[in-house]
Amino acid sequence: MNIRILQLVEGAQKARGLTVIIDVFRAFTVEAWLSRNHAAAILPVGDIQTALEYREAHPGTLLCGERGGRKIDGFDFGNSPSSIEHADLTGKTVVHTTSAGTQGIANANGADEIIGGALVNAKAIARYIRQKNPAEVSLVCMGLAGKEETQEDTLCARYIKSLLEDQPIADMDAEIDLLKRTSGAKFFDPAQQDVFPEADFHLSTQVDRFDFVLRYDRETGRMCRVDL
């Protein structure tokens, strides 16, 4: 099994084999919570207009997403796990668009299979990959807006790779703590709590909370939950 760690939109475009598009802060953490809260369907899309047109054609659809971290005008939710933590989404279709994570899915045209990646289900992702046993694995870190590398996404990729290679990271707690002073510092800035609430940091770094993966189905455009 050849495992590569790739970065940003360019990395998504280079991805081959079984591909994990990683966005810890916050796209695929959000999608894990959407699934946990019983959303009937999750549709990641690359642009805002596609989301709006889908809702127009399918009344009752909920829209979730951000640009520049902020909730998009007219959307039901931002890209914030704390905003949906207690939402009952039973039976709801949710269309999701973000600056980084969903852009990775949109650009991974060479991938054989795509799943969403986050710390909250990283061990489940590693287990899924082991079961599939592909010749090639691409771990794509989407970073900030798909343009700037970030510590949390690279940590998630390193963690998944370490599990696949049976060489687990020695101290994940210390690695998570470090994020508070690096790429996660914005969640502890009082001036940014309206966009980056502290609760989102804690929900996004609950390592291995969920025992399922979300697999992208190109035919339907949906994320399909696979319980492990």
- CATH number for the domain spanning 174: value is 3.90.1560.10
- Note the pLDDT of residue 143: 98
User: Has residue 208 been placed in a domain?
Assistant: yes
Looking at residue 198, what is its pLDDT?
A: 98
3-state secondary structure of 110: coil
In this structure, what are the phi and psi dihedrals at residue 163, rounded to the nearest 5 degrees? -70, -40
pTM over 0.95: yes
Residue 138 is predicted with a pLDDT of 99
- Read off the tokens for 152: 């949390």
Domain that holds residue 132: 2-217
Instruction: Give the C-alpha separation, 224 to 205, whole Å.
Output: 22
Question: How many angstroms from the chain centroid is the CA of residue 60?
Answer: 24
Collect the ranges in the chain with pLDDT lower than 50: none
| DSSP symbol at 100 | S
Longest dimension (CA), the chain: 50
Is residue 167 one of the residues assigned to a domain? yes
| Residue-level pLDDT at 57 | 98
Total domains, the chain: 1
Determine, yes or no, domain membership for 156: yes
Q: Which pLDDT value is given to residue 16? A: 98
Give the tens place of pLDDT for each residue, 84-120. 999 999 999 999 999 999 999 999 999 999 999 999 9
